[in-house]
Amino acid sequence: MNALRQFYLEIPVVTRAYTTVCVLTTLAVHLDLVSPLQLYFNPTLIVRKFQIWRLATTFLYFGTIGISFFFNMVFTYRYCRMLEDGSFRGRSSDFVMMFIFGGVLMTFFGIFVNLLFLGQAFTLMLVYVWSRRNPLVPMNFFGVLNFQAPYLPWVLLCCSMILGNTVWVDVIGMGVGHIYYVLEDVYPTLSNGYRLIKTPYFLKRLFNEHIERNYQAAAEDRPGGFPWGGEGQPLLPEQNAADGQEQDQEPADPAPPAAAAPQ
């Protein structure tokens, strides 16, 4: 019991909070404490009945407890944690800002494609951003298909099509992930570029983080390997110098996504 508690407390704070709320929401539905009809995304009820909680609960419910829920939770936890432990290490406030940015865009797009729950699209956004920031990580699909990380979202999209699931969930998740990647990792590296997605001061205070005056993308965050959307983007001279210094340092129910894991 102590080992389980220690494992839980070692999970990064944002990942721990999000996955915990997702599990509790599903348990509440399973125990008939709430109904999925009270959770799904409905713009009419949000605007006319002021049921604003639907803006959040649409990202928290992954379907009834079963194999679909299990796979969705594994993917969400895995890639959420790898992002927070990787490129967002020490920047939990920026990670929360990514959640907010992605949630707002998905809510907007969800109006036009009539999706009831956006949790799986949110997971695909996390997968997409992680895959673009780790372009050289080898992946394995059921032991028969080998590919590199940037192709993972496309593999999941193909699996959705083969299984006959709606592809809008994957398309929205990948689309929002790409928009975030371009604005956060590609545009700031241009000669006249700057960071467009800025984390509010109160979030940084909430996580007791240092306030950065001049943003400079970390080496692992910059576009490279698979320059989709960032072809031929030059780095600033001072960024090249920073790279040289870094080299001297130490380095219905939503359908489940297909299993794929780094080798």
The pLDDT value given to residue 255: 53
The pLDDT value given to residue 30: 92
Mean residue pLDDT across the chain: 82
- Region at 19 (left for phi over 0; alpha for psi -120 to 50; beta for the rest): alpha
State both tokens at 7.
Answer: 């494992």
State both tokens at 150.
Answer: 């940037």
The pLDDT value given to residue 94: 94
The ranges of the chain with pLDDT < 50 are 213-251
State both tokens at 229.
Answer: 């959307």
The pLDDT value given to residue 51: 94
The pLDDT value given to residue 242: 44
The pLDDT value given to residue 253: 55
The pLDDT value given to residue 145: 82
The pLDDT value given to residue 82: 95
Nearest-angstrom CA–CA distance, 89 and 94:
10
The pLDDT value given to residue 80: 95
Which own/partner contact pairs does 182-187 have at CB distance under 8 Å and 24+ positions apart? 182/229, 182/230, 184/98, 184/217, 184/221, 185/132, 185/133, 185/217, 185/221, 185/222, 185/223, 185/230, 186/223, 186/229, 186/230, 186/233
What residues contact residue 162 under an 8 Å CB cut-off, 6+ apart? Answer: none
The pLDDT value given to residue 231: 43
Radius of gyration, CA atoms only, the chain: 19
- For residue 91, CA distances in Å to 13, 20, 50, 184, 225 come to 11, 20, 33, 14, 24
Does the pTM surpass 0.85? The reply is no
Contact predicate 203/96, CB 8 Å: yes
